[in-house]
Amino acid sequence: MGQAVRAAAASYSDVEVVGLVDQGDDPATVIDKCDVVVDFSVHTITRQLVELCASCGKAMVIGTTGHSEAERQEILQVIKPIPVVWSSNFSTGVNVLFWLVRRTTEILGPEYDVEIVELHHRMKKDAPSGTAKTLAEVVAQAKGLDSAKAVVHGRVGIVGERPPDQIGVHAVRAGDIVGEHIVLFGTMGERLELRHAASSRETFARGALRAARWVVSKPPGVYTMLDVLGLK
């Protein structure tokens, strides 16, 4: 993703990449040169990076996933002094999907079961994807459920009938799949599917840069791509 962001930045006249940080590099050596830091790394690095950005007053775009709830809460406390766009997915299409899933859940009501399937490349380290987690949270909120209690990750054995307040989340890993998410709404007699498939990481890179250009002028706070797109 870092390479994709660097390549996409070349097509924007108002965006300049002033520093590149990889494993083993020190971001403090380039932090003074930038207006905003874009983070696509690993969840164990985010905390120290947000501490640096907060101390230097730099805006952030966070696309890293895999944080535990405890890690997420710690990071939220640290980033209070700066504007941050934190999203599990920076694709414009996926964020429209978030909006559509919320409205569809509200319209269809409790009679429809909801199952989420995500597909990614074999190298992805966390499961389910951050996007699938967000989709499950969107569905749970729209249904008035606690996502921590409602979500089931796969099923095996004699599990009995599916309860109406359950949200199934299933992860597939194979080959070089960039990313695909399916939200299935099913009831007796019909089903409806909302699907998004990415064919290139460029879509995520362009979304992250769109967020970076947007967040630099915003007051301190935690935003999502729905804010960037005006869908909140």
Asked if 21 and 30 touch (Cβ cutoff 8 Å), the reply is yes
Q: What is the model's pLDDT at position 231?
A: 87
Mean pLDDT value across the chain: 94
**Catalytic site residue 124?**
yes
3-state secondary structure of 150: helix
- Predicted confidence (pLDDT) per residue in 56-78, tens digit: 999 999 999 888 889 999 999 99
Mean pLDDT, to the nearest integer, of 43-62? 95
Judge if 33 and 76 occupy the same domain: yes
CATH of the domain at 166: 3.30.360.10
Distance in angstroms (rounded) separating the CA atoms of residues 74 and 76: 5
Judge if 52 and 131 occupy the same domain: no
SS percent in the chain: helix, strand, coil, step 5: 40, 20, 40
Active-site annotation holder among 43, 124, 170, 218: 124
Query: Does 80 have pLDDT greater than 80?
Result: yes
Domain count, the chain: 2
Judge if 102 and 191 occupy the same domain: yes
Judge if 38 and 58 occupy the same domain: yes
Judge if 99 and 156 occupy the same domain: yes
Judge if 111 and 132 occupy the same domain: yes
Judge if 69 and 134 occupy the same domain: no
Asked if 83 and 135 touch (Cβ cutoff 8 Å), the reply is no
Judge if 56 and 12 occupy the same domain: yes
CATH of the domain at 212: 3.40.50.720
Distance in angstroms (rounded) separating the CA atoms of residues 170 and 172: 7
Judge if 133 and 147 occupy the same domain: yes
Task: Write out the residue range of the structural domain in which residue 114 sits.
Answer: 92-198
Judge if 17 and 82 occupy the same domain: yes
Active-site annotation holder among 58, 67, 120, 133: 120
Judge if 166 and 213 occupy the same domain: no
- Of 88-92, 95-99, 116-120, the poorest mean pLDDT is in 88-92
Residue 145 one-letter amino acid: L
End-to-end CA distance of the chain: 26
**Catalytic site residue 196?**
no
Query: Does 232 have pLDDT greater than 80?
Result: no
Q: What is the model's pLDDT at position 24?
A: 86
